[in-house]
Structure 1
Amino acid sequence: MILKKNMTDTLVNSMRQETCPACGHYIAVPFLDPSLQPIATVAWPRSCDEAKSMQRLPLDFVRCVECGHVYNAAFDYSKVPYTRKPNLMFNKGVIWADNIISVRKKILERLPKKPVVVEIGHGDGGFLMGLAAECPDGKYIGFDPHGAKSDKDMPSVQFNACLFEPNLHVSKIRPDLIISRHVLEHLINPLGFIQSLSFSASCLGSEPELYIEVPCIDQAIETGRTVDFYYEHNSQFTTESFTKMLERCGVEIRMIDHVYDGEVIYAFVKLGCYQKHVRTAKAALGFRDRTRASENIIIQQLDSLHKSGKRIAIWGGTGKSAAFVNRYGADATRFPVVVDSDMNKVGTFVPGTGQEIRFSDWLTEHPADVIIIPPQWRARDIMEEMKQHKIRAEKILIEHEGRLVDYENEKHPYN
């Protein structure tokens, strides 16, 4: 479909570079005109004057063009005073109560006989205690820094007044099921949070289920309803954005459905089933460990070169060469000679260590015994340049497999 020019101009000019909290896409467009409003659910002002004097916070709702997620690009979590007032849902309606019973039944059908269940953001604790009452042989653990604590004596239920930390609590508790009801819409990065749950489970070789439930704005968009869009609900999920978020989390989606006349969307997913992430993480940590060892080796080699009394030159003063100099502590006192093939860099100084950069032909009149070439991939070109300028040295060194090696006499892939 070809758009008219004025519509095309409008679309292009409305483009915003924002990171979608549901799918990670970077392009969004305005969804509502910006406005200023006070927080709507957790302030509870005690007087008319207090209500009127409340700070008004920016609403800048945009919509991701990839998944259709709607979110407040101006949201600042620190502006929401959860520490003073809990964000407790209040809905005593019969239909909502029936919905809670239905959800609880779906969860109970999936639990083992003695389950370990975690609820992230347990609120008043009622949902978790309801599960415990139906399946008393399990263990039920709630996490909510601002949630209520029940006075009911239920030994199988434990409430923690703290945030759930996936990297700590998944391995410590080993849950069979994790529940998150009406929490993700408040988070800055719900995508990252679910990914962290799945990655933590993958690292353990564990595959717990996750039940997620959030408001769904499909009908709000269809009917032009605006009351859903207030400050505390940073993220507003559509069916598409909810699904796309889960697809990007390394989970197995077992069920997605709607309840409460389509105003709420939920899903059961299996965590920990994407081992590629674990393999990549292991490779990254392995690289880090190897470079820790090689750093000490190369620092020792440089120190030995300096103590040998030989004249040392480093070829290259910026980019990879500057990274080499700073990483391995090749300071200006011990290694004052730095040359470069680029005339534009001559007369400038190595970032961080301060050696003056000279043009490479400086070495024709001030020969070096050893030349270190940090950018290995350019070593062949530099060797050719040395031949053209009749620059000679006893030894040319490059970094390879965690140490400095002789370019001309040792094995490496750069010659």
Structure 2
Amino acid sequence: MLTNLLLLTQEAAKQIPRGDIHLVACENCGFVFNCAFEPSALYNEGYDNSQAHAPSFERYLDALIHSLVTEQHIQHHRIIEVGCGDGLFLRKLVEASDENTGYGFDPSYQGPLEALQGRLQFETCYYDETCCHISADVLICRHVIEHIPDPLQFLRTLRRALASSPRTRAFFETPSLEWIMRNNVVWDIYYEHCSYFTVDTITLALERSGFKVECIKHTFEEQYLWVEATISDAVSLCTLPAIEPDSLLSLTAQFRRYERQLCEQWKQTLQVLRQDGSVALIGAAGKGVTLANLIDPDCQLISCIVDLNPRKHLKFLPGTGHPIVSYEEMKTYGITSALLMNPNYYNDTLQLLAHYQFHVRLITDHVPTSISAIGSEHENKSAQKLLLTRIEQAQGQGKTIVFTNGVFDLLHSGHIQFLRYAKALGDILVVALDSDMSASQLKGPGRPINNERDRMMLIDALDMVDYVLLFEGEALPELIRAFRPHIYVKGNDYYGKISPALEALQDVGTHCIFAPHRNDLHTSDIIDRILALASGNA
């Protein structure tokens, strides 16, 4: 089903036509496509996939425009954008240089056909050989090729349309299949995306269509591929090397294995969250629509979908019929928890929740601390219950759970070495972080330097840490008994000391390991050096 349709009634949303997704990977080149895709009149005035309402995406677009103008020197240029959508990106690029002009092609474009005193023009049609009379210095094609069932034919059409512009520079952007597969982002697979590209396969497609790839970059936190190409006089017959066992084909097999498991995990997460109140899903575009259809097709777990795009407000989510609302309307649904599936919008969402003074637990993939939200005692117990559910799932899969705890104030290299050592002992590392009150009792007046929220964010930013939770010192034995880790790790400076968790460790059969530790590096020493420098005594 299409993920970005604007549907006026819940019934229309539930009755939307559906199609099958059967992804197939070519054994010769690794190109992945939906072999069950059926082209139809997909895009019309009821289709809206604009992302420009999100501040993070707006900043990304502005940075991209700045790069094109200042680094690629796109000034005094005629620009053609294929699949211009609402024309926002092309308008920005034309406005960025007084002498730029632009032509946008998109059959679904709605708006004035001319703007900026004639420097910007739009055509509500496809760009093909019939447009070759419009010369181009630059061709832009962002987030189009993944919608094309025959990308080679599409690229060759573009090349023929540029026959009279042999010096054209072309820029393409498309989702990165490597990022989707490596991160098991099941909800990034949806119907209108019928073609999926890696660095190798996008290179092969372009060079077999009369383009020469000059550069490929991973952008938008590696979610996208950005390709810079020029016109080639001859079609390349280049081939790719044989697919290695640990390459994309292996990733696709892993992705298939984890799909059901990930969906079940998110269902259980929602069930836990529902015990404390209503749950919202942030984002009514591709990721959100796909996730909702996979884990809550009957609207039993998610109360509403929240989106910044005003065109989607008071509409209903394709496939499930969940109501789509604005941030302001969240209160009317009694939302206590919210799911966010694109980590790139995490900070934006936190700021919006704070702006509207919503005390909502934010759960997001790839940001583990979000399930250990700092809040009331009731909220923290709920977050720990959610984390416990995930740990039990991992234990059921035979994974080794490693547990440690500490203050981790003024994060330094000794902490990093210790946590790397702990992670190497197992599959999942859980770090229990002392609250500010607990840290003060342990370390004395004036400590901690960094508050509990900042310390949690710093620990979460470390790749070796899977989950972080906040706790009061006396609760450590209770946590050990609840999580039943296979391994408990402390620094070797604790060797021989009586641990309050000793009895709990013995009760659950946890193996205790003392990690190698740099005895010459301590947070207190760093603080002393800072104070000495400040006083001029260093």
Q: TM-score, normalised by structure 1?
A: 0.53
User: Secondary structure at 2:7's aligned position in 1?
Assistant: coil
**What letter is aligned with 1:147?**
Y
- The secondary structure found in structure 1 opposite 2:11 is helix
What pairs with 1:74-85 in structure 2 (closer than 5 Å)?
A: 74-78=36-40, 80=42, 82-85=43-46
**35, 48, 56: which one aligns with 2:18:** 56
Partner of 2:207: 247
1:307 alignment partner in structure 2: none
2:189 alignment counterpart:
229
Write out per-residue CA displacement over residues 368-414 of structure 1, whole angstroms, 9 at most, x where no aligned residue: xxxxxxxxxxxxxxxxxxxxxxxxxxxxxxxxxxxxxxxxxxxxxxx
Aligned AA (1:146): S
Residue 117 of structure 1 contacts residue 140 of structure 1 at CA under 8 Å; is this kept in 2? Answer: yes
Change in Cα spacing, 1:122 to 1:67, as seen in structure 2 (3 Å) is same
Please tell me whether residue 163 in structure 1 is matched to residue 126 in structure 2. Answer: yes
Which residue identity does 2:9 align to in structure 1?
S
**Structure 1 equivalent of residue 63 of structure 2:** 102
* Bigger mean CA deviation after superposition, 258-267 or 88-97: 88-97
Q: Please name the residue that 2:300 is paired with.
A: none
SS at 2:186's partner residue? Answer: coil
Q: Please give the alpha-carbon distance, in whole angstroms, between the structure 1 residues aligned to 2:174 and 2:141.
A: 9
In the alignment, structure 1 residue 41 sits paired with structure 2 residue 1: no
Q: Is the 8 A contact 2:68 2:74 kept in 1?
A: no
Amino acid at match of 1:65: E
Matches within 5 A, 1:14-413: 38-42=1-5, 44-78=6-40, 80=42, 82-109=43-70, 110-111=72-73, 113-150=75-112, 153-165=116-128, 167-170=129-132, 172-201=133-162, 203-204=163-164, 206-274=166-234
8 Å CA contact 1:198–1:249 kept in 2: the answer is yes
Residue 35 of structure 1 corresponds to none
Inter-partner Cα distance in structure 1 for 2:188 and 2:201? 16
Deviation of 1:154 after TM superposition, in Å, equals 4.0
- The one-character-per-residue Cα deviations of 1:336-360 (angstroms, maximum 9, x if unpaired) are xxxxxxxxxxxxxxxxxxxxxxxxx
Provide the C-alpha distance between the structure 2 equivalents of 1:205 and 1:223, rounded to a whole number of angstroms: 40
Alpha-carbon offset, residue 272 of structure 1: 4.2
Contact 2:78 2:136 in 1 (8 A): yes
- Cα separation, 1, equivalents of 2:218 and 2:173: 9
Superposition deviation, residue 126 in structure 1:
1.0
> Match of 1:355?
none
Q: Give the drift of 1:187.
A: 1.0
Query: TM-score normalised to the size of structure 2?
Result: 0.41
CA deviation vs aligned residue, 1:68-123 (integer Å, no higher than 9, x gap)? 2221111112152x124234322433332222122212322434642111011111
Letter in 1 for 2:4: T
Distance 1:89 1:240 in 2: 28
Matches of 1:242 and 1:275 in 2, distance apart?
15
Indicate conservation of the 8 Å contact 1:197/1:271, yes or no.
Answer: no
Matched letter for residue 34 of structure 2: N
Mapped contact 1:41–1:232 kept (Cα < 8 A): no
Q: For 1:56, what is the secondary structure of its paired residue? A: coil
User: Which AA in structure 2 matches 1:239?
Assistant: V
Query: Whole-Å Cα distance in 2 between the matches of residues 159 and 254 of structure 1?
Result: 29
> Hey, what's the Cα distance between the residues in 2 that align with 1:102 and 1:251?
25
Structure 2 distance, partners of 1:85, 1:67, is 36
The 8 Å contact of residues 123 and 146 in structure 1, kept in 2 or not, is answered as yes
Match of 2:229, SS state, is strand
In the comparison of the two structures, how many residue pairs are matched?
A: 235
Does the 8 A contact of 1:86 with 1:123 survive in 2? Answer: no
Q: Is the 8 A contact 1:208 1:272 kept in 2?
A: no
Distance 1:53 1:88, change over 3 A: closer
Identity over aligned residues, as a percent?
24
What SS does the corresponding residue of 1:227 show, helix, strand or coil?
Answer: helix
Amino acid at match of 1:143: F
Q: CA 1:78 to 1:224, structure 2 compared with 1: closer, same or farther past 3 Å?
A: same
1:99 and 1:259 in contact (8 A); partners too: no
Matching residue's letter, 1:244: L
Structure 1 residues 219-228 or 142-151, which shifts more? 142-151
Q: Cα RMSD over matched residues?
A: 2.3
Counterpart Cα distance in 1 of 2:50 and 2:178:
21
The alpha-carbon deviation at position 232 of structure 1 amounts to 0.8
Aligned counterparts of 2:82 and 2:75: Cα–Cα separation in 1: 21
Equivalent AA in structure 1 for residue 54 of structure 2: G
Measure, in 2, the Cα distance between the counterparts of 1:205 and 1:162. 20
Distance 1:51 1:140, change over 3 A: same
Instruction: Kindly provide the amino acid, as one letter, of the partner of residue 157 in structure 1.
Output: L
Amino acid at match of 2:80: V
Q: Does the CA contact (< 8 Å) of 2:105 and 2:122 recur in 1?
A: yes
Give the drift of 1:211: 0.7
Q: Deviating runs (4+, > 6 A) in structure 1? A: none
Closer, same or farther: CA 113–221 of 1 in aligned 2, 3 Å: closer
Partners of 1:234 and 1:87 lie apart in 2 by: 18
Q: Unaligned 5+ residue runs, structure 1?
A: 1-37, 278-415
Contact 1:199/1:272 (8 A) holds in 2: no
1:110-160: CA deviations, max 9, x gaps?
346421110111111111111111112222110111023258644200011
**For the Cα contact (< 8 Å) 2:84–2:105, is it kept in 1?**
yes
